[in-house]
Structure 1
Amino acid sequence: MDETTQPTRDRSAERPGHPRRWSILAALCAALLLVVVDNTVLHVALPALGRAFDASIGDLQGVLESYVVAFAGLLITAGVLADRYGRRRVLLVGLLVFGAASALAAAAPGIGWLVAARAAMGVGAALVMPSTLAVLVDVFPPGERARAFAVWSAVAAVAMAGGPLLGGALVDAWSWAGVFLVNVPVVAVAWVGVVRLVPESHGDRARRLDLAGVMLLTAGLGAVVLAVVEVPERGADARVLGSGALGCVLLAVFAARTRRVAYPLVDLGLYRDRRFSGASFAVAVLTVATGSILFVLAQYLQLVLGLGAFETGLAAVPLAAGVVVGSFFGGRAPRRFGERACIVGGFVVTAAGFAVLATLGTGSPLAAVGAGLALAGLGSGLGGPAATSAVLGAVPPERAGAGAALNDTHQQLGIALGVALLGSLLAAVYRVRLPESVPDGARSSLAATLRHTSHAGDAELASAARAAFVGAQSTVLWTAVAVALAGACVALLTLREPRE
């Protein structure tokens, strides 16, 4: 363990928790709802957006990507700003930006306006996320943090599963604008809760902000994330390769700069702490697998089993239920069994859920889908709070905002990589498994193949395409099993329980 941070950590352990810490957690969860719901609620509104603006697939992809790129690119900078200028203050600014951008998105007259508004929403979300975790670190004593993170994870899971349901209901009852306007009253409630309950806290206020480092890191992360999220749609074309190469160069320059400046934006020395680096890497590896599961299964449920958008959202409820149940135990188990045992056990249970999903066929019952998702969610709920507690417990309290931002960035990069890499694997294996009679223009996805077979009236070829997709899905999910087990191995080999 890094001896330079041990005295600070010991002082933190002696400090009692805030007397209103559980009420503060409720207010922070309201802010968390906004960020998580907005990651999923828009997917079911994309067809309505396409019709309203006569938008192409590339336009709709831009609506999704602008949020992800701004969010992931600014997380670390937002964490540093929270430490420097106050976590409560930055959280309130983030809520205002998010609410105003949501209202502007609902009033969008064109697709370009909507892309810009979504990018502004990503900026607001980036300001909100690390501040919530940093405040939790500040108001909860170390012995209760795993329980607080468990509640935080459970709320995120419910929001993730509820996003498609809410989005489908709003689009059906109102229009696509409803998925943005619903954010405004939630922002108002969260704002009042934060103002009334959340105390202000700071990190090292004497640290100067490295503006050159901010620009290098934000641009570098944004370029890398943009390249990653575009791989499934564009492949390794010049734009993707150029964006990825530019991002890597900017990040390399940023890493070199951190060794020369007095107040680096990111303390790379944190990665020398086995607890921080082991838990961070394990979580990032796991999110590579979990980040693509709903992306894959949404196609299976709609195009293979024939469910509608709202029914697909209902089918994802067991995942959230599993996280809630797992979080109930995952918030208490670390004090009895230790963080490492909880993380390893949770990842193994998650791998078991992926294994169940890997056995799905073209006529599998929804109960099998629910069982696999429930197991995956249970494992995530068991291991997630301990992993978050391990990461943030290794960070000095005065850098809690930056540490929370690093934790969020690891997860966002893992999710983006999961969708890109496993999504590309799904497309590649699907094309190989398709009958040779399918023309090139109909081989890019199951949806494209089914459009071709519908026009041709070839039911037998449609059945073969669904079988090919299920085979490709099985390959992806067995890969996810291996990735989850790899995360468990990393945690087992690198984590050590902190000394009392």
Structure 2
Amino acid sequence: MRQLRPGIVVDNTVLHVAVPAIGAAFEASTGQLQAVIDAYVVVFAGLLITAGVVSDRYGRRRTVVAGLLVFGVASALAAAAPSVGWLIAMRALMGVGAALVMPATLAVLVAVFPGRERPRAFAVWSAVASVGMAAGPLLGGALVDAWSWAGVFLINVPVVTVALVGIVRLVPETRAGDGRGLDLPGTVLVTAGMTGLVWALIEAPAYGYTSTAVLTGALVAVAALIGFGVRQARSPVPMVDLRLYRDRRFSGASFAVAVMTVATGSTLFILSQYLQLVLGYSAFETGLAAVPLAAGVVAGSAVGGRAPARFGSWACVVAGFAVTAAGFAVLASLSEGSGYATVSAGLALAGVGSGVAGPSATSTVLGAVPPERAGMGSALNDTHQQLGIALGVAGLGSVLATAYRGALPDGLPDHAVSSLGATLSYAEGGAGRSALAESARSAFADAQSLTMAIGVAAALAAAAVAFLALPRREPSGEEAYVGRGEA
């Protein structure tokens, strides 16, 4: 199952190097570019719980095969997008395919490896994903430079083909077989709730944080998510067993990881624009930025896979998140005159921290879930992360857009302030506008530093949650489910 994770990670990371090219091709605003990223993430997160139930009931291998087919077809259609609206729609369809794939990968690892061996298994899983994280942007950047942004979607097709062959030949079928059914109204509620929340965050800079449209989106989100929670609490066979959140291991690690991904989820989205539009790097050179990040994850995972046996999961999670915060502090120091070395140092530290903390955090979350509900537990683990990423791209992207617009000179037309790319295009349209281009780059660098400083705060908050909420001692197999009843 390990070959599946890189394919999904490649799609998440490679797209960031193409963001400036997509913005130029479709004259897209920052909000539209955020939507291209978040259409995938929101649908992915909204359907993960349902996908976990599907994999438990109908078979994990069968679900993965269906998801890969959807993902591959949608990728090919995205490459042929005639408009940014079409691209956003295909990204959403790719999210459907990815949601079917992801829960089964972790569920199989949970079924195969006993509790004490899981951190090492998850460390290998993370390291393999990091290879995709490094290779994807490099290949995607080369394709963008040599051809067009469409290449970042077409490279998914051969990855999916190889994965399908491997799954059919090597992975046995597993399932829970306890008759737990699907909940279509619940699926609609949770997806609508997250969609409304992310939409409100994305559009807030353009419409205003107190505008009717933004407040309506936020209210719809809150109502839908409350409705989902009530429905699950009353159902005799819920999609999500809310009793899991009474377990400090599950709720503490899940919340800490979600807070952390708010910071990490938007990093490459912002840095890709900084490297290309502020520092003037090519798409391929921008792709190189993912190499120190991936190398850091691999190095950190080597530690994170073995250290829990000696120091405990609690220490690994807290220390890893603290190192990630240090990486964001380095990134917050970037200016329009900074070089690649500073970016590399910051991303390497962030990668090391994620590598150290990730295996223990994942093992802690899934260790609180009964084995027969591995699909649901894996889906919840991914949902927490993907929701954090969506909120990071939307929320920190909105902070970036608001701070950037506020630092630009007064009197510019609306279309010229929608993104850094739009401002630079406007500055090229007339004589005497070179000063505007310099002001725009400086404004973006300052806005980026602000968002990275928020990333520091989020990473430290995640470390604090882990420090306070996670138990110092690992429970034994007999203690793992005491007090929660059958899940």
User: Counterpart in 1 of 2:238?
Assistant: 264
Q: Identify the residue that residue 481 of structure 1 maps to in structure 2.
A: 456
Q: Which residue of 2 aligns with 1:170?
A: 143
Compared CA separation, residues 91 and 410, structure 1 to 2 (3 A) = same
Shift of 1:143: 1.7
Look up the equivalent residue of 2:269 and give its one-letter code: F
Which of 314, 317, 339 aligns to 1:365? It is 339
- C-alpha change, 1:352 and 1:99, in structure 2 (3 Å) is same
> Is the CA contact (8 Å cut-off) linking 1:438 and 1:449 kept in structure 2?
no
Range 207-216 or range 336-345, more displaced: 207-216
Structure 1 residue aligned with 2:467: 492
**Structure 2: how far apart are the matches of 1:49 and 1:358?**
26
Between the aligned partners of 2:232 and 2:275, the Cα distance in structure 1 is 47
Following the alignment from structure 1 to structure 2, what is the Cα–Cα distance between the partners of residues 317 and 474? 22
- The residue aligned with 1:99 is 72
Counterpart for residue 330 of structure 1: 304
Structure 1 segments unaligned to the other structure (5+ residues): 1-27
Match of 1:84 in 2: 57
Distance 1:430 1:279 in 2: 34
Q: Name the structure 2 match of 1:213.
A: 186
| 472 and 173 in structure 1: CA distance in 2 versus 1, 3 angstrom threshold | closer
**1:180-191 matched pairs, under 5 angstroms:** 180-191=153-164
SS at match of 1:266: coil
Displacement, 1:415? 1.1
In 1, the alpha carbon distance for the partners of 2:205 and 2:410 equals 24
RMSD: 2.6
Q: Which moved more, 1:92-101 or 1:268-277?
A: 92-101
Q: Tell me the residue number matched to 1:385.
A: 359
Which residue pairs with 2:483 in the alignment?
Answer: none
Q: Is 2:255 the partner of 1:305?
A: no
1:94-173 pair list within 5 angstroms: 94-106=67-79, 114-173=87-146
Task: Tell me which moved more, 385-394 or 315-324.
Answer: 315-324
Select between 365-374 and 111-120 the one with higher mean Cα deviation: 111-120
Q: CA deviation at 1:230?
A: 4.2
Please report how far the alpha carbon of residue 254 of structure 1 lies from its aligned counterpart in structure 2 after TM superposition.
1.7
Letter in 1 for 2:113: F
Supply the distance in 2 between the matched residues of 1:178 and 1:74 (Cα, whole angstroms): 27
Instruction: Output one character per residue of 1:167-219: Cα deviation in whole Å (capped at 9) or x when no partner.
Output: 23234445554433332222221122222222222225232333332333333
Q: Would you say the 8 A contact 1:134–1:401 is kept in 2?
A: yes
Match of 2:376 in 1: 402
CA distance in 2, matches of 1:72, 1:367: 34
Query: What TM-score does the superposition give when structure 2 sets the normalisation length?
Result: 0.88
How many residue pairs get aligned? The number is: 471
**In structure 1, distance between residues paired with 2:318 and 2:22:** 42
Q: What runs of 5+ residues in structure 2 fail to find an aligned partner?
A: 477-487
Q: Give, in angstroms, the shift of residue 48 of structure 1.
A: 5.8
Instruction: Measure the CA separation in 2 of the matches of 1:46 and 1:357.
Output: 20
Are the counterparts in 1 of residues 130 and 297 from structure 2 also a CA contact under 8 Å?
yes
* CA distance in structure 2 between the aligned counterparts of 1:62 and 1:472, rounded to whole angstroms: 20
Counterparts of 2:307 and 2:109 in 1: how far apart (Å)? 19
* Counterpart residue number, 1:315: 289
Preserved CA contact (<8 Å) 1:349 1:376: yes
Q: Following TM superposition, by how much is the alpha carbon of 1:94 offset from its aligned partner in structure 2, in angstroms?
A: 1.1
Structure 1 pair 232–92 and aligned structure 2 pair: CA distance change class (3 A): farther
**Which deviations, in whole Å up to 9, do the C-alpha atoms of 1:310-337 show, x marking residues without a partner?**
2111123211111111111111111111
- The C-alpha deviation readout for 1:217-258, integer Å capped at 9, x for no partner, is 333333334434444565545444333322321221121122
1:462-483 deviations in Å (ceiling 9; x for gaps) = 4444333333322222221121
- Contact 1:228–1:416 (CA<8 Å) still a contact in 2? no
For 1:187 and 1:49, the matched residues in 2 are separated by 23
Aligned residue among 196, 214, 227 for 1:253: 227
Match of 2:236, SS state, is coil
Deviating more after overlay: 327-336 vs 201-210 = 201-210
State the AA in 2 paired with 1:345. A
Structure 1 residues 51, 361: CA separation in 2 closer, same or farther (over 3 Å shift)?
A: closer
Q: Within 5 Å, give how 1:25-64 maps onto structure 2.
A: 28-45=1-18, 56-57=28-29, 63-64=36-37
The AA in structure 1 aligned to 2:279 is L
Distance 1:100 1:299, change over 3 A: closer
TM-score under structure 1 length normalisation: 0.86
For 1:421, the equivalent position in structure 2 comes to 395
| Cα shift at 1:35 | 1.5
Distance 1:140 1:209 in 2: 28
Following the alignment from structure 2 to structure 1, what is the Cα–Cα distance between the partners of residues 468 and 152?
Answer: 44
> How far apart are residue 43 of structure 1 and its match?
4.1
CA distance in 1, matches of 2:386, 2:365: 15
- Note if contact 2:53-2:180 (Cα within 8 Å) is conserved in structure 1: no
In the alignment, the residues of structure 2 paired with residue 240 and residue 484 of structure 1 have an alpha-carbon distance, to the nearest angstrom, of 27
Taking a change above 3 Å as real, the CA distance of residues 140 and 232 of structure 1, as seen in their structure-2 partners, is farther
Deviation at 1:349, TM superposition (A): 0.6
Cα distance in 2 for residues equivalent to 1:393 and 1:225: 30
Q: Equivalent residue of 2:234, what SS?
A: coil
1:45–1:171 Cα contact (<8 Å) kept: yes
Counterpart Cα distance in 1 of 2:82 and 2:337: 43
Farther-moved stretch of structure 1 (475-484 vs 346-355): 475-484
The aligned amino acid for 1:266 is V
In structure 2, what is the equivalent of residue 3 of structure 1?
Answer: none
Task: Measure, in 2, the Cα distance between the counterparts of 1:225 and 1:425.
Answer: 13
Which SS does the other structure have where 1:166 is aligned? helix
Separation in 2, partners of 1:464, 1:116: 34
Q: Indicate how the Cα distance of structure 1 residues 294 and 48 shifts in structure 2: closer, same or farther if over 3 A, else same.
A: closer
CA deviation after TM superposition for structure 1 residue 114, in Å: 4.5
* Alpha-carbon distance between aligned partners in 1 of 2:6 and 2:240, rounded to the nearest angstrom: 27
Counterparts in 2 of 1:45 and 1:468: CA distance versus 1, 3 Å:
closer
